[in-house]
Amino acid sequence: MVAARQQQRRRRRWGVLVLLAAYVGYLGLGAVVLQALERPAEVQAAHNLLQQHWELLGNHTCLQGPALQRLIKGIIQAYKSGITLQGNTTSLGKWDYSGSFFFSISAITTIGYGNLSPSTAVGRIFSIVFALFGIPLNLVLLNEIGHLMLLGVQHCASRLEEVFHWQNKASFLMKTCALVTGLLLFLLLPPLLFSDKEGWSYEEGFYYSFITLSTIGFGDYVIGMNPDRTYPSWYKNVISLWILFGMAWLALVIKFCINILESSSYFSVLSESCPPAALLPSPSPPAQSCHPQSDIPSFTGDASELLASHTYLQSHKFLLGSWLTKNFRNK
């Protein structure tokens, strides 16, 4: 028995090392590809900026280099604060109610575009407190939405089984329909709206959709920030709902991808040697496992798969939210 446990621990350690090597290798591959794709464009942009800078100074000899630099820095700082020039006036709007509401949802969903941030000390302190309670609340709501989604799929699958007697095909058919419907509603159709309201290409809209729903939030594309466009009052509110339900759907898709990875031969051997630590606390006393000191809790039941995958994405951002979610549901 002792020898078997030691063998399991050794296998587990080697498995983690292999997984870590694959992880670092994957990051390295991404870095090489991105450097090859983006570095030339960066060099060209820097060259164009310097060329325009010297052309401006050459064509307007009354301008001085330091004064121009101060003006450029002032423009950049004003743009970061949400202020743009329109003729002889300035345009405000990033911190109106709809803009503030959109900032709030980007904060508690941990998207964090980075294009807008509080400029006052009181605003920064409030943002910390707001996110501290808002992120767990967001996880609770996503769990409930995912629970309803799964119940809907299971109900439709059971109805198909009753009507057509498809015992094996019903579940697969409904999951496929849910995947395709979500793909249309959350990734394929929204870029058309963004093309109309923002003037983006379809590729840019699709890129923004995935970067937003996956909570990556680079911030290079953000809706409602073009001072040359007029946006309807409902626009940001509808996008906020799209983000909420889209994150829940994408979490289900990511859970499906995780299941594919875990069903591979390597992960199967790894899970047999020692099951991975769970994500939320189980209502019954846990059995002896290979993770006695783990603080990561465990899921029970298919209805919680959504939050499992969403927490997988965000556990490094806010693990407390997952724990609060399970305790909320147990009550």
Residue scoring higher pLDDT (315 or 231): 231
Residue 217: inside a domain, yes or no? yes
Provide the pLDDT for residue 324.
40
Provide the pLDDT for residue 93.
61
Provide the pLDDT for residue 167.
64
Query: What are the pLDDT digits (tens) for 147-204?
Result: 888 788 778 878 877 777 766 677 777 778 888 888 999 999 999 999 999 999 999 9
Residue 174: inside a domain, yes or no? yes
| Longest Cα–Cα distance in the chain | 86
Q: Is the pLDDT of residue 323 over 80?
A: no
- Side chain identity at 227, as an amino acid letter? P
For residue 288, the 8-state DSSP code is P
* CA-wise closest residue to 93 among 213, 235, 196, 201: 235
Residue 253: inside a domain, yes or no? yes
Residue 258: inside a domain, yes or no? yes
Tell me the three state secondary structure of residue 305.
helix
Query: Residue 130 is inside which H or E element, if any?
Result: helix 121-164
Provide the pLDDT for residue 243.
94
Range of the domain at 238: 94-330
Q: What is the mean pLDDT of the chain?
A: 76
HEC readout, 31-96: HHHHHHHHHHHHHHHHHHHHHHHHHHHHHCCCCCHHHHHHHHHHHHHHHHCCCEEECCEEECCCCC
Confidence of residue 291 (pLDDT cuts 50, 70, 90): very low
Residue 54: inside a domain, yes or no? no
Residue 85: inside a domain, yes or no? no
Provide the pLDDT for residue 109.
92
The percent of residues above 90 in pLDDT, for the chain, comes to 21
Q: How many domains does the chain have?
A: 1
Residue 151: inside a domain, yes or no? yes
Residue 18: inside a domain, yes or no? no
Provide the pLDDT for residue 84.
66
Q: Is the pLDDT of residue 245 over 80?
A: yes
- Pinpoint the alpha helices (H) of 189-234: 190-198, 202-213
Question: Residue 279 is part of a domain; what is its CATH number?
Answer: 1.10.287.70
- Side chain identity at 190, as an amino acid letter? P
pTM (global) more than 0.85? no
